[in-house]
Amino acid sequence: MEDNPPVPRRRKEDMPSGRLRKGLYILPSLFTTANIAAGYYAILQVVHGSLAEPWHLDNAAKAIGFAILFDGLDGRIARMTKTSSDFGRELDSLADVIAFGLAPALLGWMWGFRLLPPGDSPNLHTKLLQLGAIASFLFVMAGASRLARFNITSNPQPSNPGRPGKKYFVGMPIPAGAGVIAAVVHFAGGEPISYWYTALVWLLMMIAVAYLMVSTWRFYSFKDINLHTRQPYRLIVLFAALFAGIWFFSGPLLFAIALLYMFSGVLWRLQWIFRRKRNPPAPPAYKEISQPS
């Protein structure tokens, strides 16, 4: 009786689990691709908004909002499935420059300055248009600089740590900065600014958001929210209420959330400054050195 021929062993990569593992690596990148697509669509809508049709600008603001959603999902899915990769991190940074740097900067410039009526002072209109272009450029540079800083920095800490760790961002994250621009435009229904003093306030606001992104101030990261608890009913109720509120009252609710998050970092900073003034650090103790006789 002949011996049975040996059965070849299946390699690990040939097994279904290995193929499934490879497929999971593509999943976060799909959401990152959706982030890029939303940013590109927002830019297209801003270009169409130059025809003074407000709904194009409102669509651009909504597209940035969806890009924020996709950006939050790709990172969380990568952590949950343990499929983080260097390619995914680099692709995510490039996507953020498009969706949260270039798109909101163009939207802010078109909505707040380019479509501003000349009024009785064409010179003032020209100056505001030029200053708006500078502010938009600063917004893009601040966002790109922030992403570059975090690509080369491991575990950065805020200058007013309080509770250091992953619970807080160092500076305002670039999706939140883009969210402020998009939320204001969406709250206005895409209707562009009509008065020069409103454009001046918008100019200062864009510069302030750009500064907050490159600052070392503390902003809550929401990374300590645990979705793996056995009884996540509180989070389910909260997310359901938030979804319903955005569905029916997206303009005022997103506007309030964006501004509250923006000013939360400012309030934390002021609280840290006042606390430091009340309790100044102890002066360093110097050891007396005897002089030779």
Averaged over 266-287, what is the pLDDT?
72
Positive or negative: CA dihedral 188, 191, 196, 200: positive
CA–CA separation, 83 and 61 (whole Å): 31
pLDDT at site 87: 81
Residue 11 lies in a domain: no
Residue 216 lies in a domain: yes
Q: Report whether 205 contacts 255 (CB < 8 A).
A: no
Residue 34 lies in a domain: yes
Residue 184 lies in a domain: yes
User: Cα separations (Å) of 279 from 161, 171, 269, 275?
Assistant: 16, 24, 15, 6
What CATH number did the domain enclosing 52 receive?
Answer: 1.20.120
CA–CA separation, 58 and 46 (whole Å): 9
Residue 17 lies in a domain: no
Q: Let me know if 45 is exposed, middle or buried by CB neighbors in 10 A (0-12, 13-18, 19+).
A: buried
Residue 285 lies in a domain: no
Mean pLDDT of the chain: 82
Q: Which of 16-30, 104-118, 165-179 holds the top average pLDDT?
A: 104-118
Phi-psi region of 191 (alpha: psi -120 to 50; beta: other; left: phi over 0): beta
Q: Phi and psi at residue 212, in whole multiples of 5°?
A: -65, -30
**Stated pTM of the model:** 0.81
The whole domain housing 100 covers 23-276
pLDDT digits (tens, 9 = 90+) for 85-130: 778 888 888 999 999 999 999 999 999 999 998 877 889 989 999 9
Residue 7 lies in a domain: no
Residue 1 lies in a domain: no
Averaged over 181-201, what is the pLDDT?
94
* Structural domains in the chain (count): 1
Q: Report whether 45 contacts 57 (CB < 8 A).
A: yes
Q: What is the DSSP letter of 218?
A: E
pLDDT digits (tens, 9 = 90+) for 49-77: 887 688 999 999 999 999 999 998 887 78
CB atoms near residue 85 (< 10 Å)? 12
